[in-house]
Structure 1
Amino acid sequence: MCSHYEAPENERLLAGFGVAPDSKLPIDLWPTHMGPFIRLRHEEAREDDLPELEALTGQFGLLPFWAKDRKLGRQTYNCRSETASTKPSFKSAWKKGQKCIIPVSAFFEPDWRSGKAIPTRITRTDGGVMAIAGLWEKWKDPDGQIVHSYTMLTINADSHPFMSAFHKPNDEKRSIVILPNGLIKDWLNSSVEQTTSFMQPYPADRLKVENRPG
């Protein structure tokens, strides 16, 4: 499960997606940090010749309407796709089809093959930005301010040639859902019934380790 990742700079977001947040955000992100996510723009706004996509700033760690404070995000930064439709934290966003992508330059997973956890930086082999399938939510804080938030969807990776190398030996292996570039808009435009069809493993030969333990 991914709890640490690097977000692309705004210049890369504009080049890859045509949109970026209004302000610069931290690159190194952990749960409850604020980062960029991309979703479809509301249909009314599209009529004004604005881009089909929009980039927002939200908390890494989804906040359902009933969250008491932002600390819940420490537990909701990843969402198991198999149970997203029933888990209290995620079922509303899932059933409403509040899909997004989280742009990622690199993510980190613990490599336990040496007997201890070694934080390992993972990127695309071509150096491109990864589009992680996610869910977004809108929450109102105690002061009445709207806070957007997001979570990364995950799938089982026990048999994945690359992602099965991470996490503790006896734990289930999991992977975030990395969307091929050609499926990004299909994912965002898909119906709720079609959501699970996008929960597929990313080709192992398109991922690489930047600092493999010795």
Structure 2
Amino acid sequence: MCGRIEFTLTERMHHALRDTFQIDAWPEQREIRPTDQTPFLTHTEVWTLKTGRWGLVPPGMDLQAAKKYATFNARIETVEGSKSFKDAFKAGDRCVLPLSAFFEWPNKSKVRIARPDDRPLLAAGLWSQQDTPDGPLVSCTVITRPPTEDLTDVHDRMPALLLTKDLEGWLSGPAPEAKAIATGSWRPGLLTVTSAS
């Protein structure tokens, strides 16, 4: 978890993202698997839209070595002690991944999890960029947390989804604040689970 995400924008989602991030042009829309390219957002003085490999390649590790590890998810409980993720978390290389939905397979049946009000999901993430002989290698990961009580029958993990009021705290807050936001920003009752078969 979370091993499949979707970025397929409805008109309402597009407007919501534009209003929140002041960005109008978004990349190709599709279902995204680990190691695929996925959009994510960073913020300094303005929001910046980037695209990178879904599966963090930590500083000092090359892409071939990274392929041996599943780095598309980072558990919020252990992110500070993880060799793969601690540098990005402590250096403030936090980001936000916009999603239209994410998928799970409870009882081997694929389900789609999204907001019923047709608004985008904003997942906490980390990102990295390294210089390589082939050019910049940009990558990212989705932070995960225990599920809200309404999703416990779906999976034992879920993306650390953020409410817009918590974006700044996740991106630039000290580590304890960022971890608390990632664990507690989202609340039960905001998502619906539908069959995706």
- For normalisation by structure 1, the TM-score amounts to 0.80
Does the 8 A contact of 1:138 with 1:146 survive in 2? Answer: yes
The equivalent of 2:138 in structure 1 is 148
* CA gap 1:189/1:178 in 2 versus in 1, 3 angstroms: same
> Runs of at least 4 residues of structure 1 off by over 6 A?
none
The equivalent of 1:177 in structure 2 is 160
User: Is 1:99 the counterpart of 2:103 in the alignment?
Assistant: no
User: Is 1:37 the counterpart of 2:40 in the alignment?
Assistant: yes
In 1, the alpha carbon distance for the partners of 2:23 and 2:124 equals 17
Pick one of 25, 29, 40 that aligns with 2:28: 25
The equivalent of 1:120 in structure 2 is 111
Identity, in percent, stands at 27
- Consecutive unaligned residues of structure 2, counting only runs of 5 or more, are none
CA deviation string 1:37-86 (max 9, x = no partner): 00113xxxx4xxxxx21111111111102322167366101001111111
Paired amino acid for 2:149: P
Does the 8 A contact of 1:81 with 1:155 survive in 2? Answer: yes
Paired amino acid for 1:147: L
The equivalent of 1:49 in structure 2 is none
Paired amino acid for 1:86: G
Paired amino acid for 1:162: D
Structure 1 SS opposite 2:171: helix
**How far does residue 97 in structure 1 lie from its aligned partner after superposition?**
1.4
What is the Cα-based RMSD across aligned positions, in Å?
2.3
The equivalent of 2:80 in structure 1 is 85
In 2, the alpha carbon distance for the partners of 1:152 and 1:183 equals 16
In 1, the alpha carbon distance for the partners of 2:139 and 2:74 equals 13
In 1, the alpha carbon distance for the partners of 2:183 and 2:86 equals 20
Structure 1 SS opposite 2:170: helix
* CA gap 1:71/1:110 in 2 versus in 1, 3 angstroms: farther
The equivalent of 1:72 in structure 2 is 66
- For normalisation by structure 2, the TM-score amounts to 0.86
User: Is 1:165 the counterpart of 2:153 in the alignment?
Assistant: yes
Does the 8 A contact of 1:37 with 1:100 survive in 2? Answer: yes
User: Is 1:187 the counterpart of 2:182 in the alignment?
Assistant: no
**How far does residue 187 in structure 1 lie from its aligned partner after superposition?**
2.0
In 1, the alpha carbon distance for the partners of 2:125 and 2:140 equals 7
* CA gap 1:127/1:70 in 2 versus in 1, 3 angstroms: farther
In 1, the alpha carbon distance for the partners of 2:10 and 2:131 equals 26
In 2, the alpha carbon distance for the partners of 1:58 and 1:185 equals 21
Paired amino acid for 1:96: A
